[in-house]
Structure 1
Amino acid sequence: GFNLRGIEKKDIKRGDVLGTPDAPPNVAKEFKAQIIVIHHPTAIAPGYTPVMHAHTTQVAATVTEFLQKINPATGAVEEENPKFLKVGDAAIVKIRPVRPTCIETFEEFPEMGRFALRDMGATIAAGIVKEITEEYKP
């Protein structure tokens, strides 16, 4: 454990992340991710807003744009700007959490760069963060 001075216990909540002043954690307004659709009764279209589970935080997040549909085995681009994704599809997408969220790229910090998208009591998709496209600067 550790001690913090100047912060009340009531000000700390699940999903909060500590970092050093010289290398603070990234807080993203939007990020680019690679996802694979695991379960959905129909298809997913841009604008879909499930709950994103990343490390210990849960936040609603909108899949704003589908950039590329990719081959799940090879990573080769199969389609640019697909209109929808169905079960088994892998894609590069843009995701915008409804509030800025602490997240890192999978390449830099794997534990903070993985997430799941959940809706209707099921995991809809799993993914990794490729790039933070819009950072939150308080």
Structure 2
Amino acid sequence: FLHNSLLCYQGSGFCVTGKIEAGYIQTGERILAMPPNETCTVKGITLHDEALDWAAAGDHVSLTVTGMDIIKINVGCVFCDPKEPIRVCTRFRARILLFNIEVPITKGFPVLLHYHTVSEPATIRKLISVLHKSSGEVLKKKPKCLSKGMNAIVEIQTQRPVSLELYKDFKELGRFMLRYVGSTIAAGVVTEVKCN
């Protein structure tokens, strides 16, 4: 997968810059952008101003792509193999660890979801359970609120679709931070993706 972080025009196509998180990519290959669920063709690969025929996981590269409209691509878009598309969702369940927060978190609490280069408005839709910090055992189901230091399972809903994977399957695309009024209030991992 390639995680996009910058866009620019280049000749007949446009350029996306990011990190290859897994696998490899080569010139001439068809790749799928998620979201918006459209394919494009890799016309060129550049690593440190050097043109390459292919690049692999861990490389920070620029790809020149053609065959899709630049307007449909946003920072945070993930490029993947069309045969194995990444999950795209607006709702997911996660295990979160709350930091030192001033206000208790309740159902409907507004947050900013941060992962890689994505910053997406979201809402904590459901408080599912409070967990024991070390064992993960459920201490309380359907809590009314969450406070500092708690470990919990919650359901989060984003305003727009985001590309996520389960943490157990793909750590890099399965972890995130939650922010509120300019402060990081929680770290979390995706435990279940609710497909759209």
Q: Mark yes or no: TM-score above 0.5.
A: yes
Q: Are 1:24 and 2:104 counterparts?
A: no
Shift in Å at residue 61 of structure 1?
0.8
What are the ranges of 5 or more consecutive residues in structure 1 without an aligned counterpart? none
Partners in 1 of 2:173 and 2:105 — Cα distance?
25
Matched, 1:42 2:103: yes
TM-score of the aligned structures, taking structure 1 as reference length: 0.92
Deviation digits for residues 23-64 of structure 1 (CA, Å, limit 9, x no counterpart): 111101211100011131121101001100022211011111
Rounded to whole Å, the distance in 2 between the matches of 1:47 and 1:3 is 41
- Mapped to 1, the partners of 2:87 and 2:116 lie a distance apart of 14
Cα deviations across residues 55-92 of structure 1 (Å, max 9, x unaligned)? 22110111110111001111011000000000000101
Pair 1:75 & 2:133 matched: no
Amino acid aligned to 1:127 = G
- Please point out which of 65, 78, 89 is paired with 1:4: 65
Structure scoring higher RCO (CA < 8 A, sep ≥ 6) equals 1
Q: Which has the higher strand share?
A: 2
Structure with the greater alpha carbon radius of gyration: 2
Residues matched between the structures, number: 135
Partners of 1:54 and 1:103 within 8 A in 2: no
Q: Residues 46-57 of structure 1 correspond to what in structure 2 (within 5 A)? A: 46-57=107-118
Partner of 2:157: 96
Q: Which stretches of structure 1, 4 residues or longer, exceed 6 Å deviation after superposition?
A: none
Q: Identify the residue that residue 118 of structure 1 maps to in structure 2.
A: 179
Distance in 1 (alpha carbons) for counterparts of 2:138 and 2:110: 24
**Aligned twin of 1:109:** 170
Identity %: 33
CA shift for structure 1 position 13? 2.6
Q: CA deviation at 1:10?
A: 4.7
The two structures, once aligned, show a CA RMSD in angstroms of 1.3
**Offset, 1:9:** 4.4
